[in-house]
Structure 1
Amino acid sequence: MDIDVPNKRNDNRNIFLFFTGKLITMLGSSMYTFIIGLYILKLTGSGGNFALTIICGMLPRILLSPFAGVIADRMSRRKLLIGSDAASTIVMLLAFSTVSFAGLSLITVYASLILLSVCSTFYSVSLSSSVMMLVEEDNVQRASSLGQISSSIGNILGPILGGILYAYVSLEMFMLFNGLAFLISTLMGWSLKFKPSASSSPDYDMNTGDGSSKGFLTSFQRSFIEGFHYAKRNHLIWGMIKLAFWINFFISALNVFLPYIIVESLKLSSKQYGTIDAMLAAGMLLMSALLSIRKQLGDPIKSLLQGTTTLSILIISMSLPLLITFTSLGSFVFYMILMLIVGIIIIYINIPIQVTLQKTIEEEYRGRVFGILDTMASAIAPLGMVLFGLTLDWIPSFYIPIISGLGLLLVTWIGAHELRKVPSQTTVASSQQASSSQ
């Protein structure tokens, strides 16, 4: 038996291992993507090849998250978590060996990026769907908040540390160090204590009896459709997934209009833009830390709707320096404060979604639902950036924050109408159902 029953005494231990392991994994992946991009530019001088590194990092996540969700529901999540981290270790060590003996090549770079992204996808989905198996119910918000902190730190420090290492460490040595870091994360995953899985029914098996690839694909398709229909039948789950989808879409406009307004329209420096952009991460870290130590939010739907309404107003407000005369310093300070608050509100929105989904989704469907959510969130952001970018070529820039904010406000009102149809006891009842089944 490879699982242990956690209690409140070892919740802290599990949360520490959860936080540290995810931080190492996120930091390693972020640094590797950044450093590889720099090496590609140095090797080829091609912007197209550099863009391809970004695609190699994003595409597997978009395509494979549903598959990872099905696998997470069909096998031991503990084994999947450990296996995906161990696979990342192997990818890095193989890349190190290849570069050491055969030299750097584009094939090696792209192959390692794709494989690392595949491993990261399975790791992310298995970890997201395992929170309720690692901690008691009253610690879900704390675990989710610390998970968000590890993601934020990884995304912030990854490029910074990557830039430092790029200047002083060879690529093959970085691959070796990164492989050892993933190995440490693997050992931390091995040390996690999981609750016994309640998913022991006979159909919890991907085998169809004939062993054929066609049979496997049929079983996978059936399992994915079951998970999709399960999410759609639950109005609370489906309402939150749709709201998360549209929040990601409209927030993606920030990545398009904010640098354009600050650098092109207001003529602030690139250094000032970097400072403003960093305030978003600072706000996210601040709110994640706060939610990790405070008691769980009483009404997650209320918090979610309040947060999205506030975020809509903040985004609309970003057009003000283009409509009202601001000094350069005034614009700089205005956007710094605004982005700090935006970061805070984003976490105020995200954590209630994560906690509610963790408590509401039944264990045997948790991987598939989080896989669907992961795919939708990963796919809509680049699509939103393209659409808002094209819009920016046709209309004045101050319209984009207004359009984005009003669009988010509209979907919030629609979402509020749908979510308020859900009986107030839905979350509690579903949570109790999930708990009793474990």
Structure 2
Amino acid sequence: MNNSMMLKKATYHLWTFTISKLIASFGSQVYSFAISFYILQATGSAKSFALNLICNVLPRTIAAPFAGYIIDKYPRKRIAIISQIATTLAIGGLLVVSVTFGLSLTAIYITTCLLSLTSMFSSVAFTSSITGLVDEARIQKAMSLNQMSVSFAAIASPAVGGLLYGVISMPVFLIFYMAASTASIVLDATMNFTLFASQKSETLDTQKESMWKGMKAGVSYLKLQPMLTTIIWIALLVNFLFSAYQVGYSFILIEKLKMLSHHFGFTEGAFAVGMLLLSIYLSIRKEIKFPLLVSKRGIALMGVVMGSTTLPLLFTMSYNIMFGYYILLQFVLGVCIVFVNTPTQVMMQKQIADEYKGRVFSLIETVAMALSPLGMVIYGFLYDVFPAEWVLLLSSGVCVCVVLILLRTAVIRRVHPELKAEIVVKKNAEAF
């Protein structure tokens, strides 16, 4: 295939991948919205709702390292499609149960566990295949469009779910999700996952290698990459500290400040809008030159936003000013998260060897999620014992210190040696 044909195919991949992700994400989030409301209405129990969240997080956290090995060993397109088919079958099974016996919490929990696993396999398989689907010059655009589709789904799905819930039955919600999943399968099947990948990267040469040895090889590869090790430590610590924000934000706005439920929903929507607009911006601008430097500034700003959440507790504000203030904070936080994640992911796509991408990305996902459940439990206890503003301010300060230490100037220059040269050129230009 000549170069012009490959570039045309890459353009097709770019938009097909985006549409597929949008359809799948939209169907998934509308389903999640409906199931969450159903559990709360049927049981009135926060514990039942929380157990469903655990069923979504725990299976993928445990299985992610094994998934990485499988994704590196077998064709990624096959894994992505099989995962999406399994998603459709899982929802189909829940549909049959709901029509035959009626929905039960047990059936919902089992389905949530299955969907957690299938979505993790599909997500890591696609993430590991970006450099095979599109040319190197459009990796940032691909990552941005991927984030854009998820953000758009996050904005639109609660509105659609809220309009439809109570009007249509739960089986119709399930049929809607099955249709979206099926459409995603058809689109995924039309793409060539190895268009820009070398032959050896499509399947790992591990036919004689055990799963344990393959996983150890992935860890050994990580240890030889200081940049990846730094990113993993940041992901682990920052996600743990941001549990303070995840728990505290709702606690402060709903319990302490008595914000109305629909206004609280608007502040949550502002977060998704920030992510969407920044994703659009990154999809049309040139690639960011120094990703870790941008990430350092973005995480530091996220820490400041976390601490700023306490301002209405420390100083008196009118209700309307407080409402606008939290919309602004959530918007800025959404912008920061995309500024942190997208450039870093583009850098990793280019620097991680194709044959290790499945294991590396799955390990990063595992580590990023590992301490979040523990963090939520710990911070839930702390908010009951100590004033919310001091818990958040202390966590905010620690978060900023962590990123300033782990991404200190020496680390940034080691990863981006060209940064020092650029600074010298600018100083020389200013001298003249």
Matches within 5 A, 1:71-82: 71-82=70-81
Deviates further, 9-18 or 266-275: 266-275
**CA spacing shift, 1:45–1:302, aligned 2, 3 Å:** closer
8 Å Cα contact 1:199/1:363 also seen in 2: no
User: Deviation per CA, 1:99-138, whole angstroms, max 9, x where unpaired?
Assistant: 3334333333222222122111100110111111111111
| AA aligned opposite 1:81 | A
Separation in 2 of the partners of 1:6 and 1:189?
A: 19
Which one of the candidate residues 242, 266, 285 is aligned to 2:276? 285
1:245 aligns with 2:236: yes
User: Which residue is equivalent to 1:191?
Assistant: 190
Deviates more, 1:412-421 or 1:56-65: 412-421
Instruction: Provide the residue aligned with 1:261 in structure 2.
Output: 252
Q: Given the superposition, is the C-alpha separation of residues 105 and 13 from structure 1 closer, same or farther in structure 2, using an over 3 Å criterion?
A: same
Partner of 1:416: 407
1:229 is aligned to 2:240: no
Residues 25-69 of structure 1 show CA distances to partners (whole Å, capped at 9, x for unaligned) of 222222223322333344444443332222222222211111111
The amino acid across from 1:151 in the alignment is V
Aligned to 1:29: 28
Give, in whole Å, the separation in 2 of the partners of 1:26 and 1:202: 26
2:373 and 2:272 map into 1 onto residues whose CA distance is 19
1-structure distance, mates of 2:59, 2:328: 35
Once the 2 structures are TM-superposed, how far is the Cα of residue 6 of structure 1 from its aligned partner? Answer: 7.1
Q: Deviations over 1:221-268 (max 9, x none)?
A: 221121112112101111122222323222332222222222333343
The alpha-carbon distance between structure 1 residues 112 and 325, as it changes in their structure 2 partners (threshold 3 A), is closer
* Aligned ranges 1:318-337 → 2 under 5 Å: 318-337=309-328
Q: Map Cα deviations across residues 331-354 of structure 1 (whole Å, 9 max, x no partner).
A: 222222122112111111111111
* Cα distance in 1 between the residues matched to 2:41 and 2:241: 35
Residue correspondences, number: 415
One-letter code aligned to 1:345: C
1:167 is paired with a residue of what secondary structure? coil
1:167-182 to 2 correspondences below 5 Å: 167-182=166-181
SS of 1:179's equivalent in the other structure is helix
- In the other structure, the counterpart of 1:88 is 87
Under a length normalisation based on structure 2, what TM-score does the superposition of the two structures give?
A: 0.88
1:294-373 equivalent positions in 2, closer than 5 A: 294-373=285-364
Is the alpha carbon distance of 1:60 and 1:162 closer, same or farther for their aligned partners in structure 2, counting shifts above 3 Å?
Answer: farther
| Letter aligned with residue 241 of structure 2 | F
Give yes or no for contact 1:33–1:53 (8 Å, CA) kept in 2. Answer: no
The residue identity in structure 1 corresponding to 2:271 is L
Aligned-CA RMSD value: 2.5
Percentage identity across aligned positions? Answer: 34
Check whether the contact 1:301–1:419 (CA below 8 A) recurs between aligned residues. Answer: no
Whole-angstrom CA distance in 2 between matches of 1:130 and 1:202: 9
Q: CA deviation at 1:203?
A: 9.2
Q: Which moved more, 1:312-321 or 1:38-47?
A: 38-47
Q: How does 1:58-137 map to 2 (within 5 A)?
A: 58-137=57-136
- Give yes or no for contact 2:142–2:283 (8 Å, CA) kept in 1: yes
Question: Is the deviation greater in 288-297 or in 418-427?
Answer: 418-427
Name which of structure 1's ranges 73-82 and 336-345 shifts more when overlaid on structure 2: 336-345
Opposite residue 150 of structure 2, the aligned amino acid is: S
In 1, the alpha carbon distance for the partners of 2:312 and 2:202 equals 62
Mark the CA change 1:330 to 1:42 in structure 2 (over 3 Å): closer, same or farther: closer
Aligned-partner Cα distance in 2 for 1:328–1:92 = 43
Aligned equivalent of 2:262, options 268, 271, 290: 271
Partners in 1 of 2:4 and 2:370 — Cα distance?
A: 36
In 1, distance between residues paired with 2:278 and 2:414? Answer: 28
Give the whole-Å Cα distance in 2 for the aligned partners of 1:26 and 1:415.
33
- Report the CA distance between 1:309 and its aligned residue: 2.0
Which residue identity does 2:200 align to in structure 1?
Answer: S
Residue in structure 2 matched with residue 215 of structure 1 by the alignment = none
Distance 1:39 1:396, change over 3 A: closer
User: Residues 6 and 194 of structure 1 are in contact (CA less than 8 Å); yes or no, is this contact kept in structure 2?
Assistant: no
Unpaired segments ≥5 residues, structure 2 = 420-432
Q: Rate the CA distance shift 1:187–1:426 in 2: closer, same or farther, 3 A.
A: farther
Question: How far apart are the structure 1 equivalents of 2:417 and 2:298?
Answer: 22
Task: Find the residue that maps to 2:254 and give its secondary structure.
Answer: helix
Question: 1:126-165 counterparts in 2 under 5 A?
Answer: 126-165=125-164
Deviation, structure 1 residue 293: 1.0
Q: What secondary structure, in the 3-state scheme, does the structure 2 residue paired with 1:7 have?
A: helix
Q: 1-side partners of 2:258 and 2:201: how far apart? A: 62
Does structure 1 conserve the Cα–Cα contact (< 8 Å) formed by 2:65 and 2:363? yes
Structure 1 residue 199: deviation in Å? 5.8
Q: Quote the residue 1:431 is aligned against.
A: none
> How far off its partner does 1:425 sit?
5.6
Q: 1:420 is matched by which residue type in structure 2?
A: I
CA distance in 1, matches of 2:347, 2:118: 26
1:129 partner SS: helix
- 1:377 shift after superposition: 2.1
Aligned letter for 1:123? S
- Deviation, 1:93, is 2.2
CA distance in 2 between partners of 1:112 and 1:97 (Å): 12
* Amino acid in the other structure paired with 1:422: R
Change in 2 beyond 3 A, CA 1:377/1:155: farther
CA 1:402–1:201 in structure 2 vs 1: closer, same or farther (change >3 Å)? closer
